Amino acid sequence: MAFDFILPDLGEGIAEAEIRKWLVKQGDLVKEHQSVVEVETDKAVVEVPSPKGGTVLRISREEGETVKVGEVLLIIGEAGEKTEAPRAAVEKPKPAERPKSVTVIGELPEEEEEVKPAVAARPKPAPAVQVEKQGAGFLAAPAVRAFAKEKGVDLGKVKGSGPGGSVSREDVQKAMKQPARADEETVVERIAIRGVRKAIAKNLLLAQKTTASVTETDEADITALWEIRASQKKVLEEKGVHLTFMPFIIKAVQHTLMDFGSFNASVDEEHEEIMIKKFYNIGVAVDTPDGLIVPVVRNVEEKTIRALAVELQDLSAKARERTIRLDDLKGSTFTITNYGAFGAVFATPIINYPDVAILGTGKISDKPRVKEGQVAIRKVLPLSLTFDHRVNDGAGAAKFLTRLVAYLEDPAAIFIESA
């Protein structure tokens, strides 16, 4: 018996997905749990496996189409088995042709022919206001044309709402208040808000509406950290590992969160409770052609700097290629975003809801600092901490940043577990 394979629930509240690529074709034999289609959600690109083996009798949707959860993707059954033909598109009924002798306002009759009425003749309606056809295919009364000319409105670009599509004075007035769409299209590119960009818009708006966000800033002298990274970068590169500052920052954040647990939390809105988490899953924003994606590095407290570097490299590549798993995009307890890579210094990052805090790191630059009574040029990292004021206040945020700066300025402390 033919089996309708529908788009399954992909989790995370995903209601629809776009078909990116079919991995099978009609007539192919598929096995149970074999991936048959690649779909793109607002979070990631996912391969969807078939829950049943058999022959692909029909593929119901085209690549590029958006399919809602529960809609049929393809039909699987026995070779040669008949399936219901897809329903044909419903065509709109064509309007009845007008008798050639009937005169429409603003048009001239093509020829005079006697048309015998099918029913008794009706009284003639009162004569309508004369509407003339002007230019290329629009209708307007002389008074309307004069008004449009006075106001500088091109009637050829005005959609008429009157009889037979004629342009009224109100149509002209409406056109005066709106930009000319035809002209606009030559200088404006319209891009549909969909996929990752749609998810970003939705989540950030939710965060702004739900949290009481405040941002505090500070700077860290990371000269010692700079030297450590420089000494280890080449060693790890020979082993295929690209070492950035992010693993060190993640580890410093983890230690700081162990000292200030209220920043590693979320709010249970229903029960009005703050849930402080005893595990450390750090989300790291990754810039992709489709927008920001936030992979999550789990259980940071159990991982070394090198292990973090390897995992970050892998997750970042998958995020940019849109091959990352949905499980790798959820469950963060705190988030870090590095806009310094693009030259920015300070910012007010938006919390990655339902986290209650996010750290932004700016561009590292050379600045004069007093060191042991002497002015010296040091490597300085700008920091911006946005936090939910419902959970933490300004004093707590200042203490958090001070502790974080201490870890970054004394990298040896990063490797010492807190008591």
Task: Using pLDDT thresholds of 50, 70 and 90, give the confidence band for residue 93.
Answer: very low
Instruction: Specify whether the backbone of 286 is left (phi greater than 0), alpha (psi in -120 to 50) or beta.
Output: beta
Show the tokens assigned to 345.
């210094």
- Check residue 91 and report its DSSP letter: P
What is the average pLDDT across 234-254? 95
Query: What is 214-415's CATH topology?
Result: Chloramphenicol Acetyltransferase (3.30.559)
Instruction: Compute φ and ψ for 43, nearest 5 degrees.
Output: -120, -40
327 against 82, higher pLDDT:
327
Residue with tokens 């992709």: 288
The whole-angstrom separation of Cα 37 and Cα 53 is 14
- pLDDT tens column, 174-207: 888 766 555 556 688 887 777 777 778 888 898 9
Task: Using pLDDT thresholds of 50, 70 and 90, give the confidence band for residue 302.
Answer: very high
What are the DSSP calls for 316-357, one per residue? HHHHHHT---GGGGS--SEEEEEGGGGT-----PPP-TT-SE
Catalytic residue among 33, 242, 271, 389: 389
Residues 3-77, CATH architecture: Beta Barrel (2.40)
Show the tokens assigned to 157.
């670009």
The domain locations on the chain are 3-77, 214-415
Taking 70 as the threshold, does the pLDDT of residue 298 lie above it? yes
Of 186, 172, 5, the closest CA to residue 83 belongs to: 5
The alpha carbon of 354 is separated from its chain's Cα centroid by a whole number of angstroms, namely: 17
317 C-beta neighbours (distance < 10 Å), count? 12
Reported pTM: 0.67
Asked about 389 being catalytic, the answer comes back as yes
pLDDT of 181: 56
Contacts of 232 (CB under 8 A, 6+ apart): 243
Indicate the residue type of 281: N
Contacts of 391 (CB under 8 A, 6+ apart): 262, 263, 265, 267, 274, 356
- pLDDT tens column, 328-347: 988 999 999 999 999 999 99
Same fold flag, 3-77 and 214-415 = no
Q: Are 25 and 59 in contact (CB under 8 A)?
A: yes
| Residue 104 DSSP SS3 | coil
Instruction: Specify whether the backbone of 27 is left (phi greater than 0), alpha (psi in -120 to 50) or beta.
Output: left
Q: What is the mean pLDDT of the chain?
A: 84
pLDDT of 46: 84
Indicate the residue type of 21: K
81 C-beta neighbours (distance < 10 Å), count? 13
